[in-house]
Chains A and B, each alone.
Chain A
């Protein structure tokens, strides 16, 4: 890899890090100035709404199978249903995810 590509790589790495760091520092200082412990109330409301909607959007994009087909879409539907049913019973993270992946895998193997 040439020196210019190394510099490009480092610029992207530093830029990505700053994209993650600087907005956090801005908000941390803002909350500190306003002297609140759990400063949710002092966050701009649009920002507190964007947090959950970003997670929902990640959920939406991750639903699209790597190899889209009727089988993988059906497996995705069944996997999400299983995840939901186990989550309703356990209200935990591990078992619903494990069950969802297992059922998704079984459907892909059986119908694939």
Chain B
């Protein structure tokens, strides 16, 4: 990942919107599914849209709707949904060195999802510091609005959409692995980082395949970090850049 800042070829917020467009392929189909499931679970269209607007965290929204619909104790709903979102604690500190001192970053943290973190972590160091808040605002706003819009679409017409265009749900979500791949592959520039990245990705995939989707990301990230330190302390040849 290059950390050399280069001027943007367009206004920062437009560049942010452009960079976030691949996210739509992953966000909109999942948001449509959420809208559909939420309405089927007994929430109204407006309630469903407000859940996406305020919580704005995919997995925990699905869990919220499922647990409330099944009559689970509400204190347990709060604990479980916040536990799922706990992985977000490492995102802000990782971006902090690139963020200028500006009070607007506070409210903008609402938009710090997994995917926005992944793009921002790669793109922010590559642009001049004065462009960063505009870029982040454009990217995060597009992602947020697409999540809300997709939810509304799913709540209102999700059933019909899924029946008429089933491939939307199957093909477009591939934009997410493609995006993450493009963001992370430049890191693989030496043995240490290549093993770390491959270890984290493989363990996340296995955890999800074997039925642990909610802990897959934090647990696999820790596995990757352990691999990084193991290589560092064993001092394998070629392990350092």
Interface set of A (CB-CB < 8 Å, partner B): 1, 4-5, 8-13, 15-17, 19-28, 31-32, 36, 38-40, 42-43, 46-68, 72, 75-76, 79-80, 83-84, 87, 93-94, 96-97, 100-101, 104-105, 108-109, 112
Contacts and interface: CB of A to CB of B under 8 A. Distances in A.
Contact of A109 (B22, B167, B172): B167
Contact of B112 (A20, A51, A76): A20
Q: Taking chain A's interface residues, is the majority helix, strand, or loop, or is none over half, making it mixed?
A: helix
Nearest to B200: A56
The CB with the most chain B CB atoms within 10 A, among A36, A62, A93, A112, is that of A62
Q: Taking chain B's interface residues, is the majority helix, strand, or loop, or is none over half, making it mixed?
A: helix
Interface size band for B: 35 or more
Contacts of B203: 57, 60
A94 B179 CA distance: 9
B178 A16 contact: no
Given A52-B196, A58-B180, A61-B216, A101 B92 contact: no
A10 B54 contact: yes
Contacts of B82: 12, 15-16, 19
The CB with the most chain A CB atoms within 10 A, among B19, B64, B216, B221, is that of B221
Contacts of A79: 174, 177-178
B182 A8 contact: no
A76 B173 CA distance: 11
Contacts of A67: 170
5 contacts: A19-B85, A57-B217, A57-B224, A80-B181, A93-B182
Nearest to A43: B97
Given A16-B82, A67-B170, A55 B121 contact: yes
A58 B217 contact: yes
